[in-house]
Amino acid sequence: MPLYNITLKEGSSPEELEKAKDDVRAKGGIIKHEYSLIKGFTAEFPEDLAQTLDSTEHIHVEQDGVVSTQ
């Protein structure tokens, strides 16, 4: 399963992030890391769930990838 970064959009309540975590787990996803400095987490879940989560007004979903400075 692909790895995704899920973050809370500005102005959204912390409850929306908890709801997103519950949705990921309910659909078979696995929370890999929860961030403390930003409101978000990294999880593995099926690609079709990414579009469903990203379509909500409170959550931003981005597939994890390699970052380079060059």
Q: What does the DSSP 8-state code read for residue 53? A: H
Paired tokens of 15: 């409850």
Query: Above 80 in pLDDT, residue 68?
Result: no
**What pLDDT does residue 8 have?**
92
**What pLDDT does residue 53 have?**
80
Q: What pTM was estimated for this model as a whole? A: 0.82
Does some domain include residue 35? yes
Domain count, the chain: 1
Residue scoring higher pLDDT (65 or 63): 63
Domain range enclosing 32: 3-63
CA distances to 15, 19, 39, 65, 70 from 23, in Å: 12, 6, 16, 22, 36
* pLDDT tens digits along 24-62: 999 889 999 999 899 999 999 888 877 878 788 888 888
Does some domain include residue 15? yes
Does some domain include residue 49? yes
Length of the chain (residues): 70
Does some domain include residue 43? yes
Q: Where are the beta strands (DSSP E) in the chain?
A: 3-8, 30-34, 40-44, 59-63
